[in-house]
Amino acid sequence: MAHAIGRNAVRHNAIGLIETKSIVRGIEAADALVKAAAVDIIQSTSACPGKWLVLFGGDISAVQSAAEVGRKAARESLVDSLVVANAHPSLFPALTSSAEVSVKGGALGIIETFTAASTLVAADTAAKAAAVELVEIRIAWALGGKAFVLFTGEVSAVRAALEAAALRPEQEGVLVAATVIPAPHEDVLQSLL
């Protein structure tokens, strides 16, 4: 079960993530953090292999407070947590697969990582590094715990965004693969969008 993006998400400037290895503790953390601060739950859902992810957005101080409460509520089941302050506005529609995207004459960039947190950071970095549009951020569901981000733009912009965004996951040893596909075939695009 996943919740739709909150109605005020376009005004959010921060995003938080709590990842637990227990479904029960993950749902408890989601409940605790949303009660503790003025945040919107973007997604609260199961993730492979048997984990629970809570993504939430709000202003920076609310997201930081909510993350702290969520970490405490998760207790021993906490796998990872993250706060992205000053999150690029395109993260929110990409997380809910509601981004409006055009690729004509451009390129498709793809970054795949072993963790949800590293993909969120990579997506934010890509969007801030060059003139690209985030298409989708898919986190851990039916992916064996992995995650990926898709983004489009002119070939040079997609290359610059990919280079910047893949650096941190590569240094942390969580990058699975990254690529730029210039002028992707329409059938491939349709299967992804």
pLDDT value of position 6: 43
Q: Are residues 113 and 142 in the same domain?
A: yes
157 shares a domain with 112: yes
68, two tokens: 């702290």
> How many C-beta neighbours within 10 Å does residue 10 have?
11
pTM: 0.82
Mean pLDDT (whole number) for 67-90:
93
| HSE value, Cβ hemisphere, 13 Å, CA-based, for 162 | 23
Q: Are residues 69 and 122 in the same domain?
A: no
Residue that terminates a domain, selected from 85, 102, 120: 85
100 and 61 within one domain:
no
3-class SS of residue 55 = strand
29: CATH: 3.30.70.1710
Residues 80 and 117 in one domain: no
> 23: exposed, middle or buried (C-beta count within 10 Å: 0-12, 13-18, 19+)?
middle
Does 52 or 93 have the greater pLDDT score? 52
Task: Please give the pLDDT value at position 1.
Answer: 35
User: Do both 26 and 56 map to the same domain?
Assistant: yes
Closest CA to 17 of 35, 42, 37: 42
Looking at residues 32-61, what average pLDDT do you find?
A: 91
Q: Pick the more confident residue, 134 or 11.
A: 134
Number of domains the chain contains: 2
Residue 147: inside a domain, yes or no?
yes
- Domain boundary, last residue among 85, 114, 143: 85
Q: What is the pLDDT of residues 138-187, one digit of tens each?
A: 886 666 778 899 999 999 999 999 999 999 999 999 999 999 999 888 88
Query: What is the predicted pLDDT for the residue at 9?
Result: 46
Helix segments in 37-90, DSSP class H: 60-74
151: tokens are: 């983004």
The residue range of the domain holding 78 is 9-85
Query: Which of 67, 85, 103 is where one domain is finished?
Result: 85
Comparison of pLDDT for 112 and 100, the residue scoring more: 112
Residue 3 lies in a domain: no
* Cα–Cα distance measured from residue 152 to residue 131, given in angstroms and rounded to the nearest whole number: 9
